[in-house]
């Protein structure tokens, strides 16, 4: 895993994205690997210990939530951090985040996806 991160750390983001676009155009089956390597390049600025821990957890994150998780771990998006935390707390189920019952949670007022649930609940009444 470290070898992949070190190899992608020398490439620029635009180089990696260009490879991913080319792979999609050519219909290559390994395009997912190229895209995931681009996502893992976001971890290159983390220290080695944290990077290893994040990579281990990333293996358990569903593919649909990996991008949000990587943005959150990168520390550039507080909103992504809240979204990733709530998703992980609710077992990576978006609908469950909207139906959250942890009223004492400090992030309850900031939880994502609540507008979807609130609008459905209002229609039922």
Residue with tokens 């943005």, as numbered in its chain: 71
Domain boundaries, the chain: 1-53, 61-125
The DSSP secondary-structure symbol of 19 reads H
Q: 68, 58 in Cβ contact below 8 A?
A: no
What is the mean pLDDT of the segment spanning 73-87?
A: 89
Q: 19 versus 51: which is more confidently predicted?
A: 51
Q: How many CB atoms lie within 10 A of CB 84?
A: 23
**pLDDT tens, 35-44?**
456 555 777 7
Residue 54: per-residue pLDDT: 87
Residue 3: per-residue pLDDT: 45
Confidence label for 117 from pLDDT (cuts 50, 70 and 90): low
CA 45 to chain centre: 16
Helix, strand or coil for residue 81?
Answer: helix
Lookup: tokens for 66: 């990996």
Q: 41 versus 32: which is more confidently predicted?
A: 41
Burial class (CB in 10 A: 0-12, 13-18, 19+), 55: middle
What's this model's pTM, rounded to 2 decimal places?
0.59
């Amino acid at each position: 895993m470290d070898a992949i991160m070190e190899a992608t750390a020398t490439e620029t983001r635009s180089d990696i994205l260009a490879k991913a676009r080319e792979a999609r155009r050519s219909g290559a089956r390994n395009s997912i690997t190229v895209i995931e390597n681009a996502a893992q390049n976001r971890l290159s600025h983390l220290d080695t210990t944290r990077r290893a821990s994040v990579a281990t957890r990333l293996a358990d994150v569903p593919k649909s939530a990996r991008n949000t998780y990587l943005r959150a771990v990168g520390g550039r998006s507080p909103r992504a951090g809240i979204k990733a935390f709530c998703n992980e707390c609710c077992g990576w189920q978006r609908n469950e985040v909207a139906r959250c019952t942890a009223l004492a949670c400090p992030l309850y007022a900031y939880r994502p996806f609540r507008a979807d649930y609130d609008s459905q609940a209002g229609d039922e009444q």
